[in-house]
Structure formats: structure tokens, C-alpha cells
Structure 1
Amino acid sequence: MAVEQVSQAQAAPEDRFDYFWSQHGEWVEEPNVRRGGESGVQRIRRDDGQLLYAKRQTGHIYRSWLFPFGRPTVLRELDALTGLRALNVRVPEVVFCGARRDPVHQWRALLVTKALDGFVEIEDWYASGGRERHGEAFHDQVLLDLAQNLARMHKGRWQHSCLYIKHIFLRVTGEGETAKAEVALLDLEKCRKRPLSKQAAAHDMKQLRRHSSWKSADWEKLVYFYETAFGSAIKGL
């Protein structure tokens, strides 16, 4: 069985799964054993120089009532990436996704995405003095763009499920009054649909509060921007 999504402009070999499986690069997330299998992420370059990230998995599955015998987690992540991009939520672009069973009936699976050019972890931006360099008005732009991306995700009933500040990335373009903030979300492996948008919102926003370093004033501003974009208040924020 193979499932794939490939850019139309990409000139890849006929068997794209074997092609990408044979590519190797620097590990940015060392393989770890969980969910009965192994998963890790490598940084690789395509022939045209495009920087890519390849998540490689063996026997790394999740089970649900729809998939009681297990399904590779990268396929759930593909569902989320596709759904979120359709909602105009800024996430990595998928180059390829595929899954196969090997001769011993274990899943081998791949998810290859384009690098988020120009983006850095938002915590690294803070640590490098980005907030002080660009000023408080620009920092409001950062919080606003984050809030709007999160609200679009939750209004679509998608729950990130692992919304830590380390999974929030920022790109700054321009200088001075023309500077623009763009926020992107990463690590969507556990992302899933919820029956109600408020369920997704409450889970993720409370989780982000626990796993972020914003002071109270910044958090209150983020919540204000978020609830304005979401269209209603979320109990407990």
C-alpha cells in the first residue's frame, strides 16, 4: 500500500518512495522507539538544492476505531497538514508522503516536507533580542498572527494536541515600520479533528499556557487577540 502527495513541479523518479527512503542526511531528531516502532527526522537536500525534512518511520503506528489494526502516524500528520493548509493555517508544505508494509509486515512510512525558509523558533527569536530590536508594536503583530492562525485551526475543529511554544516558529520580513511577522506551527503528528471547535480550542490554549514562557500581560493580550479571532470566549483561559 502506498499513499503519496507530490509537488507537480518535482521531477522525481518513478518510484518516489524508494527514492526518498534511500536519501539520508543529518538527524535533527534522532530515531526514538515508541508506539511499537521507531521514528526520526533527517534534514536532506533535493537535487535542485531545496532543503527538506524527512520523517522516517518503521512500525510507528496509532490505532483508532477507524483503524483498529494500526495506521502509520505520518498519514494522520498528512491529513492534518492538508486540512490546515486548506484553512490558511501556516504549516510546512508536503513534498511527499508514503507508507508501505515491508516483508515482515511492519509499516515503513515517510513524510517529506519543505523547510520553512527564514523561520526560527520563537523562543530563539526572543533570546536573540528580537522583541527589543523590533519594539512592542511589532510584538503585538507576532501575538496577533499567532492568535489568528490558532483560531483558524480551531474553528476548523483541528486540535494540535502538542501545542508547546517550541513548536511555534516565526519569520520576520522587512525592517522598521514595514516589518511583517509570520507565525507557523510545527510537529502536527498528534493533530486530530474534534467534534466541537471549543473542545480543540480549550485543550490547545490551556496546554500552550502551561508550556510557554509568556508573562501574564503577554498571555492576556494573546488571549484577547485569540478570542476576537475565534469569535467567542474560551472558559478557563
Structure 2
Amino acid sequence: MSDFIAAQERALLERHGLASFDALWSLKLEAVDEPNTERGGWSSVYRLELDDRAYYLKRQSNHLTRSLLHPLGEPTFAREFRNIQRYASLGIPALQAAFFAQRRVSGERRAVLLTCALDGWQDLDSYLARWPLLAAKQQAGILRACGALARRLHQAGQMHGCFYPKHIFLREMDDGFDAQLIDLEKTRPLLLGRRDRVKDLEPLLRRARIWSESERREMLSAYLGGSADVDAWWRLLSERQRNKETR
């Protein structure tokens, strides 16, 4: 995979001398959280601000994921970058990549992924934490936005794999809410139809415990496009949730 620089970000990165793997790898920044070391290597995230633009810079070494196509492993950011590009080509709202590159250095598999910061957006977890304080119009807008986002995702033939509140970002508009997804590493094609769709949706409902049954049904109605199948889907999702909770 060759180095990627988004056309709309190139001039800014070049002006700051950051349009290369080496420059972004060696840049001194404070990590925004603790490094992830669960895959035998490490992976860290940093915030980068350039002029009036903000990004998240992700760097990793020997932090690999394995698959049938990559049995010896590949950087997890390589997989996430491919999925970011796939979402863009399919018209699924999601975070945008500004730069991606990977290198082999002295036995290390290194990768850099720079994404545009979602300033002005908030994750669904933040809204759930103050759900009772939101106006009814805001609550309804969020439920519709989440359902519509899931619908676009699945109509495009994709399964997110981690459809959790912390991965759904929302922005309030005059006529409702926009919604988009982050953390696309586990995305894969929908292979098992309704079964995969239920599997993708259920974690959201299980984690959004503050939603009442009527609110969950409202989200589900938006997902189904107002069809009469809400009861059938409700039963399927409730059964999967019971099974998950009793394991």
C-alpha cells in the first residue's frame, strides 16, 4: 500500500513539513491516553493542531492483526485505513483520513494514520450521560440519527463490528442531528443478512440502557425506514440481548 495524503490536507501538511512518514513519526507530541500494548507491540494516539485545523495522529509498531489475506499479520491501522476509504466510497458517514503510511524499520512494522479531528461533534456516550436533561426534540433527533446511520451502514453491505455509543459521533443541526462512525478496524461485509444486522445493532441497545423501550423502538423504526417490522426486530434483538447477558 503506497503512502496516502488527502488532497485537501496536502498543502497544510507540506507547509508545516509534515507530509511524510518520517516527519509524522518523529514529531514530539503528548499522547492523549495510555499506549495500547495488547497485541504484542504498541499503539498510541496524539492530538495535532495546525493553524485552524486539528487532527489525531496515531502511531504504532508491531501492533498487528491477522486475517486470511494477511496470515502473518499487518498493522491494525492499515486495515482501519482501508475501511475508512471503503466507507467514503460507499457514502457511509465516518471519520476522514488525512495521511497514511507504513514502513519496515529494523524488524519493526510501523504505521502512521492521521485523521481529521471531529471537533464540534460529541460521541453518543456523552449524550446518554445527560439524557434526562435533553429536550424531547433532541432525544428524538438523536434516536433518528442513530437509526438512519445504522441503516446506511447496512444498506451499503457493511457490518461495523463495534457499533457502540462511544463510536457514534453526533452533531446538532437546525433540523436534527448528523451522525458518523469512528473505529472502523473490525468492519467487514454483511455475510449472514439479518443475523449479522442483529449482531451489529444489539450492542448499541445493550449499552444505551437509559433508553426506554419506546425510545429503542423509535431508533429501530428509523433504522427500518418506518416499516411494520419493528415488533419482529424487537423480538430478535431482545432475544440476543438476553443470551448475551446470561453467558
Question: What residue is the counterpart of 1:172 in the other structure?
Answer: 172
Instruction: Tell me which moved more, 109-118 or 209-218.
Output: 209-218
Normalising by structure 1, we get a TM-score of 0.85
Matches of residues 12-91 of structure 1 in structure 2 within 5 Å? Answer: 12=14, 13=17, 16-46=20-50, 48-91=51-94
Contact 1:74 1:111 in 2 (8 A): yes
- How far does residue 148 in structure 1 lie from its aligned partner after superposition? 1.3
Quick one: which amino acid aligns to residue 76 of structure 2? Answer: T
**In structure 2, what is the Cα distance between the partners aligned to 1:139 and 1:187?**
24
Structure 2 gap segments, 5+ residues each: 238-247
Q: Describe the shift of the 1:14–1:142 C-alpha distance in structure 2 as closer, same or farther (beyond 3 A).
A: closer
Give per-residue Cα distances to partners, 1:114-167, cap 9 Å, x unaligned.
Answer: 0112001223234456x645x323322221122111111122222211122122
3-state SS, counterpart of residue 31 of structure 1: coil
- For residue 120 of structure 1, what is the amino acid of its counterpart? Q
SS at 1:44 equivalent: strand
Instruction: Measure how far apart 1:183 and its partner are.
Output: 1.5
Q: Tell me if structure 1 keeps the 8 A contact 2:5–2:19.
A: no
- Greater fraction of residues in helix: 2
- Alignment partner of 1:65: what SS? coil
Query: Does structure 1 conserve the Cα–Cα contact (< 8 Å) formed by 2:221 and 2:227?
Result: no
Deviations, residues 156-195 of structure 1 (Å, cap 9, x unaligned): 222211122122221113xxxx343111212222222232
Aligned-residue CA RMSD in angstroms?
Answer: 2.5
Answer yes or no: is the 8 Å Cα contact 2:47–2:57 preserved in 1.
Answer: yes
Matching residue of 2:105: 102
Structure 2 CA distance for aligned equivalents of residues 196 and 40 of structure 1? 34
Q: What does 1:80-159 align with in structure 2 at a 5 Å threshold?
A: 80-104=83-107, 106-128=108-130, 132-133=133-134, 135-159=135-159
Q: Deviations over 1:26-83 (max 9, x none)?
A: 322321212221112111123x331100111110111111111111111111121111
Which residue in 2 is equivalent to 1:8?
7
8 Å CA contact retained: 1:59, 1:108: yes
| Distance change (3 Å), C-alpha of 1:230 and 1:72 | farther
Distance in 2 (alpha carbons) for counterparts of 1:4 and 1:162: 27
Call closer, same or farther: CA 1:148–1:226 in 2, change over 3 Å.
same
Write the distance in 1 (CA, Å) between the matches of 2:185 and 2:28: 21
Identity in percent: 31
Distance 1:231 1:63, change over 3 A: farther
The one-letter amino acid paired with 2:221 is Y
Does the 8 A contact of 1:24 with 1:42 survive in 2? no
Q: Distance in 1 between matches of 2:2 and 2:207?
A: 34
Counterpart of 1:198? 194
Aligned CA distance change for structure 1 residues 221 and 15 (closer, same or farther; 3 Å): closer
Displacement, 1:208?
1.5
- 4 and 158 in structure 1: CA distance in 2 versus 1, 3 angstrom threshold: farther
| Corresponding residue SS for 2:4 | coil
Q: Report the Cα distance in structure 1 between the residues aligned to 2:91 and 2:226, rounded to whole angstroms.
A: 14
2:180 corresponds to which of 171, 181, 184 = 184
8 Å Cα contact 2:190-2:197 kept in structure 1: no
- Closer/same/farther in 2, CA of residues 15 and 224 from structure 1, 3 Å limit: closer
- Determine the C-alpha separation between the residues in 2 that align with 1:26 and 1:188: 24
